[in-house]
Structure 1
Amino acid sequence: MSAAVEETTQPCPECGTEIRGDNRFTLWCATCDWNVDPGEPQPETGRLDRAERTLARRHGEQLLAEMLSGTDAQPRRDASAVIATALALTVHVGTLAFAVAGVWCLAAGWGGAGMVAGLVLLLLAWAFAPKFRALPHDRPVLLRGDAPELFALVDEVARAVGTRSVHAIAVDGSVNAAVTTYGVRGRRLLVLGMPLWEVLTPEERIALFGHELAHYANGDTRNGLLVGTAARTLHLWHHILQPLPNSSGIEIFVNALYVVPRLLVGGLLALLARLTSRAGIRAEYLADRLAARTASTQAAVGLMDRLLIAGSLDLRLRTEANRAALRGPESVRRANAHADDLWAVLTAYASSIPEHEYERQRRVGARRGHQVDTTHPPTHLRRASLLAHVPEPATVTPQTRRTELIAAELAPVRTEVARRLLRGDLDD
Structure 2
Amino acid sequence: MTETIKQAEEDRGAQARERDCPTCGQRVPVDRRFVVWCDACEWNVDPGGEQETDPDGGRVERLRRAVAQRHGERLFADLALQPASASPPGTGVSGVVAVALAVAVHGLTVVLAALGLWLLIGRWGEGFQPAIGALLLGLAVLLRPRFGSFTKLRQDAPVLERADAPHLFALLDEVAAAVGTKGVEAVVLGPEANAGVRTYGIRRHRVLRLGLSLWSILDRQERIALLGHEFGHYAHGDTRHGLLVGSALRSLSTWRYVLAPNGGDSLMDLFANLLTALPRWTVHGVTLLLDQATLRASQRAEYLADASAARAAGTDGAAGLMDRLLVMDSAEAALQRETVAARTRIGGPSRGEDREERADGLWERVAAQVASVPQREYERLRRVSELRGHSVDDTHPPTHLRRRHVAQSDHHTPGIVLDASREAAVDGELRQPAQAMARQIVRDGLGA
1:114 is matched with which residue: 97, 111, 129? 129
Q: Per the alignment, in what secondary structure is the counterpart of residue 329 of structure 1?
A: coil
Matched AA of 2:353: R
- Match in the other structure for 2:52: 42
- Match in the other structure for 1:341: 361
Aligned pairs (5 A) from 1:271-420 = 271-330=289-348, 333-338=352-357, 339-370=359-390, 373-420=393-440
Q: Per the alignment, in what secondary structure is the counterpart of residue 128 of structure 2?
A: helix
Matched AA of 1:65: A
Q: Distance in 1 between matches of 2:290 and 2:123?
A: 39
Residue pair 2:120, 2:129 contacting (<8 A) in 1 also? yes
- Match in the other structure for 1:97: 111
Residue pair 1:63, 1:72 contacting (<8 A) in 2 also? no
1:126 is matched with which residue: 127, 137, 141? 141
- Match in the other structure for 1:239: 257
Task: Tell me whether 1:56 sits opposite 2:62 in the alignment.
Answer: no
Report the alpha carbon displacement of residue 230 of structure 1 after superposing the two structures with TM.
1.3
Q: Percent identity?
A: 44
Compared with structure 1, are the counterparts of its residues 390 and 250 closer, same or farther at alpha carbon in structure 2 (3 Å cutoff)?
Answer: closer
Q: Distance in 1 between matches of 2:117 and 2:17?
A: 72
Q: Count matched residues.
A: 428
Q: Distance in 2 between matches of 1:254 and 1:198?
A: 48
Report the alpha carbon displacement of residue 223 of structure 1 after superposing the two structures with TM.
3.2
Report the alpha carbon displacement of residue 86 of structure 1 after superposing the two structures with TM.
1.1
Identify the range of structure 1 (235-244 vs 41-50) with the bigger mean alpha-carbon deviation: 41-50
- Match in the other structure for 1:269: 287
Q: Distance in 2 between matches of 1:370 and 1:328?
A: 38
Q: Distance in 2 between matches of 1:370 and 1:344?
A: 27
Q: Distance in 1 between matches of 2:140 and 2:404?
A: 46
Q: Distance in 1 between matches of 2:305 and 2:107?
A: 32
1:79 is matched with which residue: 75, 93, 103? 93
Q: Per the alignment, in what secondary structure is the counterpart of residue 171 of structure 1?
A: strand
Report the alpha carbon displacement of residue 46 of structure 1 after superposing the two structures with TM.
4.6
Report the alpha carbon displacement of residue 149 of structure 1 after superposing the two structures with TM.
0.9
Residue pair 1:317, 1:421 contacting (<8 A) in 2 also? no
Residue pair 1:170, 1:189 contacting (<8 A) in 2 also? yes
Compared with structure 1, are the counterparts of its residues 171 and 248 closer, same or farther at alpha carbon in structure 2 (3 Å cutoff)?
Answer: closer
Residue pair 2:346, 2:355 contacting (<8 A) in 1 also? no
Runs of 4+ displaced beyond 6 Å: none
Structure 2 alignment gaps of length 5 or more: none
Q: Distance in 1 between matches of 2:217 and 2:262?
A: 46
Report the alpha carbon displacement of residue 259 of structure 1 after superposing the two structures with TM.
2.6
Report the alpha carbon displacement of residue 265 of structure 1 after superposing the two structures with TM.
1.6
Q: Distance in 2 between matches of 1:122 and 1:295?
A: 50
Compared with structure 1, are the counterparts of its residues 90 and 351 closer, same or farther at alpha carbon in structure 2 (3 Å cutoff)?
Answer: same
Q: Per the alignment, in what secondary structure is the counterpart of residue 80 of structure 2?
A: helix
Q: Distance in 2 between matches of 1:279 and 1:156?
A: 27
Identify the range of structure 1 (119-128 vs 63-72) with the bigger mean alpha-carbon deviation: 63-72
Report the alpha carbon displacement of residue 13 of structure 1 after superposing the two structures with TM.
0.9
Structure 1 alignment gaps of length 5 or more: none
Q: Per the alignment, in what secondary structure is the counterpart of residue 199 of structure 1?
A: coil
Matched AA of 2:299: I
Q: Distance in 2 between matches of 1:23 and 1:240?
A: 45
Report the alpha carbon displacement of residue 356 of structure 1 after superposing the two structures with TM.
0.2
CA offsets per residue over residues 302-337 of structure 1, 9 Å max, x none?
Answer: 111122111112111111211112213356633432
Matched AA of 1:56: A
Compared with structure 1, are the counterparts of its residues 424 and 27 closer, same or farther at alpha carbon in structure 2 (3 Å cutoff)?
Answer: farther
Residue pair 2:345, 2:354 contacting (<8 A) in 1 also? no
Identify the range of structure 1 (48-57 vs 203-212) with the bigger mean alpha-carbon deviation: 48-57
Residue pair 2:157, 2:190 contacting (<8 A) in 1 also? yes
Q: Per the alignment, in what secondary structure is the counterpart of residue 187 of structure 2?
A: strand
Q: Distance in 2 between matches of 1:395 and 1:314?
A: 30
Report the alpha carbon displacement of residue 43 of structure 1 after superposing the two structures with TM.
5.1
Q: Distance in 1 between matches of 2:124 and 2:366?
A: 65
Q: What do you get for the CA RMSD once the two structures are aligned? A: 2.1
1:26 is matched with which residue: 20, 23, 35? 35
Matched AA of 1:415: Q
Report the alpha carbon displacement of residue 8 of structure 1 after superposing the two structures with TM.
2.0
Report the alpha carbon displacement of residue 262 of structure 1 after superposing the two structures with TM.
2.1
Matched AA of 1:59: H
Task: Tell me whether 1:69 sits opposite 2:105 in the alignment.
Answer: no
Identify the range of structure 1 (398-407 vs 208-217) with the bigger mean alpha-carbon deviation: 398-407
Task: Tell me whether 1:13 sits opposite 2:18 in the alignment.
Answer: no
CA offsets per residue over residues 101-140 of structure 1, 9 Å max, x none?
Answer: 1222233143153332221121111011011212323321
Identify the range of structure 1 (277-286 vs 105-114) with the bigger mean alpha-carbon deviation: 105-114
